[in-house]
Amino acid sequence: MTDRRVFLQIPGPTNIPPRILQAMNRPLVNHRGPEFEALMKECLSGLKRVYKTESDVVIFPGSGSGGLEAAIVNTLSPGDKVLSVRHGVFSERFGDIAAAHGADVEKIEAEWGRAVDPAQVLDRLEKDAHGSIKAVLLSHNETSTCVINNVEAIGRGMAELKHPALLMVDAVSSLAMADLQTDAWNIDIVISASQKGLMLPPGLAILSFSEKAWEAYKTAKMARWFWDIKRMADAQKQGRVPYTIPTSLLFGLREALTMIEAEGLENVFTRHTRLARGVRAAAREMGLEVLPPEEEASPTVTGVKIPAGIEWTSLNAALLEKGVVMGGGLAKLQGRIFRLGHMGWIFETELTGILATLESSLAGLGYKVEAGSAVKGFKRSAVI
Amino acid sequence: MTDRRVFLQIPGPTNIPPRILQAMNRPLVNHRGPEFEALMKECLSGLKRVYKTESDVVIFPGSGSGGLEAAIVNTLSPGDKVLSVRHGVFSERFGDIAAAHGADVEKIEAEWGRAVDPAQVLDRLEKDAHGSIKAVLLSHNETSTCVINNVEAIGRGMAELKHPALLMVDAVSSLAMADLQTDAWNIDIVISASQKGLMLPPGLAILSFSEKAWEAYKTAKMARWFWDIKRMADAQKQGRVPYTIPTSLLFGLREALTMIEAEGLENVFTRHTRLARGVRAAAREMGLEVLPPEEEASPTVTGVKIPAGIEWTSLNAALLEKGVVMGGGLAKLQGRIFRLGHMGWIFETELTGILATLESSLAGLGYKVEAGSAVKGFKRSAVI
Amino acid sequence: MTDRRVFLQIPGPTNIPPRILQAMNRPLVNHRGPEFEALMKECLSGLKRVYKTESDVVIFPGSGSGGLEAAIVNTLSPGDKVLSVRHGVFSERFGDIAAAHGADVEKIEAEWGRAVDPAQVLDRLEKDAHGSIKAVLLSHNETSTCVINNVEAIGRGMAELKHPALLMVDAVSSLAMADLQTDAWNIDIVISASQKGLMLPPGLAILSFSEKAWEAYKTAKMARWFWDIKRMADAQKQGRVPYTIPTSLLFGLREALTMIEAEGLENVFTRHTRLARGVRAAAREMGLEVLPPEEEASPTVTGVKIPAGIEWTSLNAALLEKGVVMGGGLAKLQGRIFRLGHMGWIFETELTGILATLESSLAGLGYKVEAGSAVKGFKRSAVI
Amino acid sequence: MTDRRVFLQIPGPTNIPPRILQAMNRPLVNHRGPEFEALMKECLSGLKRVYKTESDVVIFPGSGSGGLEAAIVNTLSPGDKVLSVRHGVFSERFGDIAAAHGADVEKIEAEWGRAVDPAQVLDRLEKDAHGSIKAVLLSHNETSTCVINNVEAIGRGMAELKHPALLMVDAVSSLAMADLQTDAWNIDIVISASQKGLMLPPGLAILSFSEKAWEAYKTAKMARWFWDIKRMADAQKQGRVPYTIPTSLLFGLREALTMIEAEGLENVFTRHTRLARGVRAAAREMGLEVLPPEEEASPTVTGVKIPAGIEWTSLNAALLEKGVVMGGGLAKLQGRIFRLGHMGWIFETELTGILATLESSLAGLGYKVEAGSAVKGFKRSAVI
């Protein structure tokens, strides 16, 4: 079998830059020594700039789902009512985790493939005059349906309403790729992970935690030990940890933050926006249909409907043969869409190649498409 | 400052072999693809051989402490009585985690620096005629006091008593270094982690889970989502995961298991036993006192009392200047002992160098010791 | 500045596969020990399969130019007449090296951008009834003009003529990419290097050496010590070296040979042939002119005339901004052509992306080209 | 077989620091681009500080022996008389290379295991009133006999004599480890390589080249192309190369130079001096005999006579089993001495471990030695 260049275009984990691989390729250090202390502090201050927050940012060993669990168990008590905004696998998971820990979950559902209407959320909160809703659980970018939510409208709206609920945002597949203003948008907890916009292998869950979240922590009664955020935050502010953390990933994280700052965070956002627009235009030029409407489409992953007569397994096999790894549809979208991730370390040159391979793979399966269409569509719209 | 060779002799994380660094230095793969599936399955079957079990072995992103939490929340309900055997920081932590999740923790305490007397545990269980004790929480190797427990006696004794309690063993600092026979010794859950005997960076918690543990799982009511072991085990048996796991570490884990099998698991145990004996003999030859009695001393980390007139901070500084990183005492042993880890990838040549540096560092601080004593003591006893 | 993915499309060094980087990322071994011996022997036997020879293959520290020098000084004496076939920078260099060591160089010149006509060489040899010509110096693939020579016709023709001259072929930019049958085509010395088809960093010169070459060695009087091939060959057959050799590259070479065998050597050739045809078709579809005629065009690097009104420096800058590194024209072709290397570890997906970037870079400089043309041309012809 | 930690204590190649492995673990760059240019210039200026010269320093792909050849063919003509100072394998090789290129080699021989008496060299030159001797070929550190020469006395003496001969010094196994003042000591050419004091894999030959050497270059008639130093020096001053050079090693070289400057070049010298003194004291404390007298002993490699009744092959096997790789005796010293390299990245902690392993390996073969002697001897003398 040919060991060709692989393009990991699933919606995470993503392609790791050689610089980051290089930074992690080293012996460990004592996690109770001065080198670790400096490393931890650099990571935290860099993350705050990416999170656009002056609140605490805390790193756990784990995964994005672990971060969601940490957000919940550190701020809520069994029986607390939470509003779970749901329109895909991962936004549902956020609510399910809350339910598993005893929260009373009220669902706000949107169609899979659409963003949630901020008014729907705000209206519900407005009706909750006594503040019985303790938290709103929201995905910034719903990875399974390739949709981005208007978090700003919801966050600013909640502030206007003066509703006391905590706003918790799952930004696992958007952080460091789409603008997210933790403080300005009044978000209490933003959850992310290492293996998407931060261009690292999986292994870290990362959370911001506002003053209001710290207040909630004081009375939260859900059981916790591993995810206890106070123990972790107190230690990390001193450059320490209460239990071992994947040190190798911290070396990589420091490098990733350096790369992001060198490119410029806003430039990173613009790059993702433009590449995503190009991908959608390429899809349309090939006669394919993008799942979400243009204005709700994710800048980090694009969901495309699989044309009639083509099986995802055949398309996937054809793509893999050319070194391109995309994601299939999940749950009720299985077999109906494929997902092309353009997250993190991705640029125009390789993305046009990936699109050209998508085009010829479709053609190889009998789909009618003119050679060159994908690039033609991309170039017209990406304007990078 | 000189960038000299560093010997990471804390009781974990440990020195990573170049082969393992090399194995991890690569791009990621799709965690929903065939390469990942094969990797996961190879890791699990290799781990079963190291665990000496035919039960399931499950890998979580996390740390050793996360593994302890997973053991508890998957098998117990709030209010369940557990017996927590305590004689150091980490054995206390195991009980504390259970308490944090609502267990009714009964303590069996042993002196710090001593192993627990198996009879003490078995007597208590014998008195529990109605089987109200649901679990026994035990450390195989108490890292903070450098003591190893007779897990075999307790495990076999519980089987003889036919007591229904689950036996949960924290083997974070002993697995793949000291003999531990999960099945033969009737242990229901053995918890370990990546960064000690498995010679990897931190980031994985690993658990074995017996049939009896699976029975308990069915009725266990402690809240859980991330640590839910059924979701993880079911997925892993298929070579999948329900959420992302540190793939890089799995590549390293496969290599570590290959190295362990090449050396021979029993040879790895013997090596640790002999090196530990040599370290204790070296300490005594230098006129130092080892914390635990000889027959209770850990084969993976040695606790040595700091001689009168010497401060740990000064000794530590002198050692660091020579590239040797040891651990200080924790909690009530702080300033009273230092801990020399000889875990995982460690052999006679570097260990004698480390001991010679310990000797000259002590001498430099005014301690009376004849040059060459450490090696003299080591060589007489290590017989490797 | 953005640290984007870089496509090193110069005609060598080439992109290094992660597997090879991984194989080299390790401590050294004793070059007088058993591990080195096995490594050296595996490299030599793998190289013989790539060279299609049963003669000796010898590895020197150095570069391709060093290999050319080694070929000459080991077989010739000052004053010996050699026939230097010249139609570009590197074929001229081969003759220049011979002249620098005292050979009497007779030139056969072809137009830059054209292959040499085999008849021209064979006619000259036929006229040399007394065999005064001792060697023919020929490039398989002239990197500077992107032309491939019909080595087979010349080699077989010389055998038919029974002319005693040694045939020395510079295959630095063709080995392991274009078919070259050392033994079947009667080539006495084939020179290559590590950093092109073998996908390694630079640092090795590699030569095959026929029985006839060994005969010539016996009387060759050119001064040599470092390049003495007998000392090196004798040692290497024993798995040794007379002076240190870049061991790291040997670890990489073994991995490269494994990769080539896994893909299949003939498949590697076909891949290069098809990708090259696709690149030329893409160029033509964009309205560009390829330097050599189709049937003489190199399968490893394509020379394209720079269209009127465009400066190479501007085009180069535009390409670099997108992470694409191509080569400019050398010597009298400077500013007149650019060279796109498609050597070694290169596949359709990234190559179409590179072509799309070439297209938009040209467009950005005012060149009229329809978006998608490059991919359209490529897809029509590459048929991979 | 156990994959234990390996200590590569041959007199080169040496142990590579993780930082340097890390620096080389990366994709290549265009050797005709700006990143390469900066890299090359940083390497050259760093090397000049290590060489203590303001003359040119030039880097070739190759090995130390290649550097010796380059020194000769760039400055001499066939028939030129050179004085070859000989007392071991490598100093003999220097002269042999000159002879192979047609020089008229006059030998000054010293006993193997002794340094050359500077007076012997200066006397000969004094007698050469007409300046018929064109060059003096001298090893700074004769690796095969573990002896260091007084280059300063010879260099300053030649200046005093105003003898026109070029002084060429083989510093392959001393550069960046023992003080060598190229300019102050009037040395015209200092030859070194990458794999010893510079802590890199093999693959580079490095030369300084004085004004006087450049004068000689103008009339030197030895045949050369690859080693032509003018072509290489002119290109390198522009941050370019006339043919490809091992770029990976340049990335490592830049890191090595940074490490050396961080430690301080004079501190690096002192470290080598002290460690070497400690090794010799350890040998003597074990009752072993060091080959050269104390004041002529090399600071980078120690030659120890093998005690009666012990075979080198047995001792070597015992050492290898413990991960320690030493060198045997070469040529007429084969079986009579072993050589312990303490070059480059080596510090007290591992060196005492290595000595302890030497001690127990000897004891295991029946040699009478008290455990701890080696460390005892080392500690008394090394005073680090």
Token pair of D142 as six digits: 């004769």
Q: Nearest CA to CA, how far is A48 from chain C (Å)?
A: 21
Tell me which chain B residues have a C-beta less than 8 angstroms from the C-beta of D24: none
Residue C370 has pLDDT above 80, yes or no: yes
Confidence band for B153, pLDDT divided at 50, 70 and 90: very high
Average pLDDT of the residues in C152-161: 98
One-letter amino acid for residue C200 of the chain: L
Q: How many CB pairs under 8 A join C and D?
A: 162
Question: Per-residue b/e over A271-310, b at no fewer than 16 CB within 10 Å?
Answer: bbbbbbbbbbbbbbbbebebbbeeebbbbbbbbbbbbeeb
Tell me which chain B residues have a C-beta less than 8 angstroms from the C-beta of A89: none
Q: What is the pLDDT of residue C291?
A: 98
Q: Give the phi and the psi of residue B90 in degrees, each rounded to 5.
A: -85, -30
Residue A300 has pLDDT above 80, yes or no: yes
Q: Which of A19, A21, A27 sits opposite D18 (nearest CB)?
A: A27
| Percentage of residues in chain A having pLDDT higher than 70 | 99
Tell me which chain B residues have a C-beta less than 8 angstroms from the C-beta of A201: 28, 246-248
Helix/strand/coil for C362:
helix
Binning chain D into helix, strand and coil, the percentages to the nearest 5 are 45, 15, 40
Expressed in angstroms, the distance from the first to the final Cα of chain D is 36
- Sort strands B327-328 and B337-341 into parallel, antiparallel or unpaired: antiparallel
According to DSSP, residue A294 is labeled: G
Q: Nearest CA to CA, how far is D3 from chain B (Å)?
A: 7
Residue D1 has pLDDT above 80, yes or no: no
On whether any CB of chain C is under 8 Å from the CB of B19, the answer is: yes
As a whole number of angstroms, the distance between CA A361 and CA A355 comes to 10
Confidence band for B382, pLDDT divided at 50, 70 and 90: low
Q: What is the pLDDT of residue C138?
A: 98
Interface confidence, given as ipTM, is 0.96
B375 CB-near residues (< 8 Å, 6+ apart): B282, B352, B355, B356, D352, D356, D359, D371, D372, D374, D375
Question: Residues 186 to 225 of A: which have CB under 8 A from any C CB?
Answer: none
Residue A4 has pLDDT above 80, yes or no: yes
Residue C308 has pLDDT above 60, yes or no: yes
Q: How many CB atoms lie within 10 A of CB A98?
A: 29
Please classify residue D313 by burial: count the beta carbons closer than 10 Å to its beta carbon, then call 0-12 exposed, 13-18 middle and 19+ buried.
exposed
Q: What is the pLDDT of residue C12?
A: 92
Residue A31 has pLDDT above 80, yes or no: yes
The fold of D18-262 is: Aspartate Aminotransferase; domain 2 (3.40.640)
Confidence band for D32, pLDDT divided at 50, 70 and 90: confident
Average pLDDT of the residues in C346-372: 97
On whether any CB of chain B is under 8 Å from the CB of D381, the answer is: no
> Could you read off the pLDDT of A214-262 as tens digits, one per residue?
999 999 999 999 999 999 999 999 999 999 999 999 999 999 999 999 9
Confidence band for C382, pLDDT divided at 50, 70 and 90: low
As a whole number of angstroms, the distance between CA B271 and CA D289 comes to 33
- Contact, B91 vs B170, CB < 8 A? yes
As a whole number of angstroms, the distance between CA B108 and CA B128 comes to 14
D98 CB-near residues (< 8 Å, 6+ apart): D72, D76, D82, D84, D105, D135, D137
| DSSP string over A270-288 | HHHHHHHHHHHHHHHHTT-
Q: Which residue of B15, B20, B21, B25 to mutate against C (max C Cβ within 10 Å)?
A: B25
Q: Which is nearest to D292 in space by CA: D283, D302, D300, D282?
A: D302
Q: Which of B4, B349, B356 sits opposite D375 (nearest CB)?
A: B356
C-alpha to C-alpha distances, A311 to A11, A315, A316, A367, A374, nearest whole angstrom: 20, 6, 9, 11, 20
User: What is the rounded average pLDDT for all residues in chain A?
Assistant: 97
As a whole number of angstroms, the distance between CA C191 and CA C205 comes to 7
> Could you read off the pLDDT of C58-67 as tens digits, one per residue?
999 999 999 9
Question: Residues 25 to 84 of D: which have CB under 8 A from any A CB?
Answer: 25-27
What is the residue whose two structure tokens read 């609510």? A95
Confidence band for B278, pLDDT divided at 50, 70 and 90: very high
Domain A7-13+265-382: give its CATH superfamily.
Aspartate Aminotransferase, domain 1 (3.90.1150.10)
| Percentage of residues in chain D having pLDDT higher than 70 | 99
Q: What is the pLDDT of residue D382?
A: 62
Residue A384 has pLDDT above 70, yes or no: no
Q: What is the pLDDT of residue B383?
A: 58
> Could you read off the pLDDT of D205-256 as tens digits, one per residue?
999 999 999 999 999 999 999 999 999 999 999 999 999 999 999 999 999 9
Average pLDDT of the residues in D7-29: 95
Q: Which of C18, C23, C26 sits opposite B18 (nearest CB)?
A: C26
Q: What is the pLDDT of residue D383?
A: 58
Q: Which of C1, C3, C17 sits opposite A3 (nearest CB)?
A: C17
Tell me which chain A residues have a C-beta less than 8 angstroms from the C-beta of C345: 4-5
Residue D3 has pLDDT above 90, yes or no: no
Residue D164 has pLDDT above 90, yes or no: yes
Q: What length does chain D have?
A: 384
Q: What is the pLDDT of residue C32?
A: 86
Please classify residue B274 by burial: count the beta carbons closer than 10 Å to its beta carbon, then call 0-12 exposed, 13-18 middle and 19+ buried.
middle
C-alpha to C-alpha distances, D368 to B175, C342, D266, nearest whole angstrom: 39, 65, 38
Residue D384 has pLDDT above 80, yes or no: no
On whether any CB of chain D is under 8 Å from the CB of C97, the answer is: yes
Q: Which of B12, B14, B226 sits opposite A69 (nearest CB)?
A: B226
Token pair of C225 as six digits: 């010590």
Token pair of A212 as six digits: 């209001």
Q: Do D350 and B352 touch (CB under 8 A)?
A: no
Q: Which is nearest to B229 in space by CA: B121, B70, B375?
A: B70
Q: What is the pLDDT of residue D170?
A: 98
Confidence band for A381, pLDDT divided at 50, 70 and 90: confident
Max CA distance (Å), chain A: 64
Domains of chain D: which residue ranges? 7-13+265-382, 18-262
Q: How many CB atoms lie within 10 A of CB D265?
A: 15
Q: What is the pLDDT of residue A382?
A: 62
Q: Which of D24, D202, D243 sits opposite C244 (nearest CB)?
A: D202
What element of type H or E holds B88?
none
Q: What is the pLDDT of residue C31?
A: 85
Q: Do B203 and A248 touch (CB under 8 A)?
A: yes
Q: Do C22 and B19 touch (CB under 8 A)?
A: no
Question: What's this model's pTM, rounded to 2 decimal places?
Answer: 0.97
Q: What is the pLDDT of residue D212?
A: 98
Q: How many CB atoms lie within 10 A of CB C265?
A: 15
Q: Which is nearest to D198 in space by CA: D187, D188, D209, D206?
A: D206
Q: Taking the alpha carbons of D337, D343, D345, D346 in that order, is the dihedral positive or negative?
A: positive
A296 CB-near residues (< 8 Å, 6+ apart): A114, A115, A147, A148
- Contact, D335 vs D114, CB < 8 A? no
Residue C384 has pLDDT above 70, yes or no: no
Q: What is the pLDDT of residue B31?
A: 85
Q: Do C352 and A353 touch (CB under 8 A)?
A: yes
Average pLDDT of the residues in D107-130: 97
Q: What is the pLDDT of residue B381?
A: 84
Confidence band for C383, pLDDT divided at 50, 70 and 90: low
> Could you read off the pLDDT of B348-372 as tens digits, one per residue?
999 999 999 999 999 999 999 999 9
> Could you read off the pLDDT of A94-112 as tens digits, one per residue?
999 999 999 999 999 999 9
Confidence band for A67, pLDDT divided at 50, 70 and 90: very high
